[in-house]
């Protein structure tokens, strides 16, 4: 078992801010090639209205293709009960329901207040429980460290949300720095409390490198015991409904970080760099942010 699990979110979060729609066949090529590199979980698409995020017009096709891949947990993001039902009907192995710690961002992102999102989560969990075959339910708490609309978000607000989510009953919780506001001190304070609160519940950390602190925030969370992280190939991504949001932590940089520290990821960095170079050709007009792709693998890597 790998010492850390890196969940690739490029096909979902990474594509949200890409200006041009990536053709379905290229998404499938990306999915298949990355799954061959021993990635155990990939967030493959999002079930959102096409008029809101046209990039995911082919969500059904992508999920169906992902379900054909053995030894891969394919997860999808859903913003509401309608999207969750569609994903569950298509046998999504895991759905990640998104809500925000920030009322303003929740309204901009999913067009409802936070309490309404919590109530809808309860409906999704109950709906899933009544199915003949259950899927795993995850919840992503966006803007957990700050919001580019509201500004400061208190730890107490995030912890209160987590308590409500735990009472409903989910399989995992993702804590997301949607706009890249987090610093290591904030990360240390919040995750210490979260670990005590959630006990054995799986916690994912989702950091953006918008202001250059993504990697150090990952390392801070790792030192506290977090072992599951989101990242995106080439550092692509960001929330289209949060001003100034950009740049997930690059998957290749995370793999380099952990592999160079002799923390097992199960991923071969050289093979991943080759994939990154191939995938970068899909985005000739996009800024890519991965450092390893531009700087190369150092000679003392081994």
The band of 283, judged by pLDDT with boundaries at 50, 70 and 90, is very high
State pLDDT tens for residues 199-230: 778 999 999 998 899 999 999 999 999 999 99
Strands (E), the chain: 5-8, 41-46, 73-78, 94-100, 136-142, 172-177, 202-207, 228-231
* pTM assigned to the model: 0.94
- Judged by average pLDDT, the poorest of 1-5, 143-147, 243-247 is 243-247
Alpha carbon distances (Å) from 284 to 14, 18, 176, 251: 15, 11, 28, 19
Say yes or no to pLDDT of 241 above 70: no
| Residue 139 predicted with pLDDT over 70 | yes
Q: Are 162 and 208 in contact (CB under 8 A)?
A: no
Q: What is the pLDDT of residues 82-98, one digit of tens each?
A: 999 999 999 999 999 99
Q: Calculate ∠ Cα 174-119-102, nearest 5°.
A: 50
The answer to whether residue 17 scores a pLDDT higher than 70 is: yes
The confidence band for 75, taking pLDDT boundaries of 50, 70 and 90, is very high
User: Quick one: pLDDT at residue 42?
Assistant: 98
Is 60 exceeded by the pLDDT of residue 116?
yes
Q: Half-sphere exposure (CA, 13 Å, Cβ side) for 198?
A: 27
CA gap 94, 48 in Å, rounded: 16
Looking at residue 246, what is its pLDDT? 63
pLDDT at residue 239, as a whole number: 62
User: DSSP letters of 91-149?
Assistant: T-SEEEEEEESSHHHHHHHHSS-HHHHHHHHHHHHHHHHTSSS--EEEEEEETSS-BTT
What are the domain boundaries of the chain?
Answer: 5-295
For residue 110, what pLDDT is reported? 92
pLDDT for the residue numbered 300 = 84
Catalytic, out of 173, 239, 269, 276: 239
Mean pLDDT, to the nearest integer, of 131-160? Answer: 94
Question: Over pLDDT 70: what percentage of the chain?
Answer: 96
Fold of 5-295: TIM Barrel (3.20.20)
Q: Are 76 and 92 in contact (CB under 8 A)?
A: yes
At 1 the pLDDT is 47
pLDDT at 243 over 60: no
Q: Kindly report the number of other CB atoms within 10 A of residue 284's CB atom.
A: 7
> Does 276 participate in catalysis according to the annotation?
no
What is the average pLDDT across 188-203? 91
For residue 2, pLDDT over 80 is answered with no
Indicate whether 242 pLDDT > 90.
no
Q: Cβ(258)–Cβ(34) under 8 Å?
A: no
The rounded distance, in Å, linking the Cα atoms of 10 and 138 is 18
With contact defined as beta carbons under 8 Å apart, do 95 and 84 qualify? yes
Would you give the end-to-end CA distance of the chain in angstroms? 21
């Amino acid at each position: 078992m790998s010492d850390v699990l890196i969940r690739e979110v490029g096909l979902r979060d990474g594509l949200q801010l890409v200006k041009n729609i990536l053709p379905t066949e290229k998404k499938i090529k990306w999915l298949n090639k990355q799954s061959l590199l021993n990635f155990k979980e990939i967030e493959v698409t999002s079930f959102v209205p096409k008029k809101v995020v046209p990039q995911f017009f082919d969500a059904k096709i992508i999920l169906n293709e992902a379900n054909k891949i053995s030894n891969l947990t394919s997860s999808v993001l859903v913003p509401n009960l309608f999207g969750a039902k569609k994903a569950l009907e298509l046998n999504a192995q895991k759905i990640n329901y998104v809500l925000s710690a920030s009322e303003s961002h929740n309204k901009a992102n999913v067009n409802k207040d936070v309490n309404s999102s919590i109530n809808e989560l309860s409906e999704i969990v109950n709906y899933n429980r009544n199915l003949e075959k259950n899927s795993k339910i995850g919840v992503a708490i966006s803007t957990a460290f700050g919001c580019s609309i509201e500004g400061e978000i208190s730890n107490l607000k995030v912890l209160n949300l987590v308590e409500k989510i735990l009472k409903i009953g989910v399989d995992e919780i993702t804590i997301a720095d949607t706009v890249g506001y987090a610093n290591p001190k904030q990360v240390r304070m919040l995750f210490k409390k979260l670990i005590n609160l959630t006990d054995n519940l799986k916690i994912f950390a989702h950091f953006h490198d918008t202001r250059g602190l993504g990697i150090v925030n990952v390392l801070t969370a790792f030192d506290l015991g977090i072992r599951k992280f989101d990242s995106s190939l080439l550092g692509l991504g960001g929330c289209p409904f949060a001003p100034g949001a950009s740049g997930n932590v690059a998957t290749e940089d995370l793999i380099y970080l952990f592999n160079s520290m002799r923390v097992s990821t199960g991923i071969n960095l050289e093979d991943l760099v080759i994939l990154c170079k191939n995938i970068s050709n899909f985005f000739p007009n996009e800024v890519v942010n991965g450092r390893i792709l531009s700087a190369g693998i150092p000679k003392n890597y081994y």
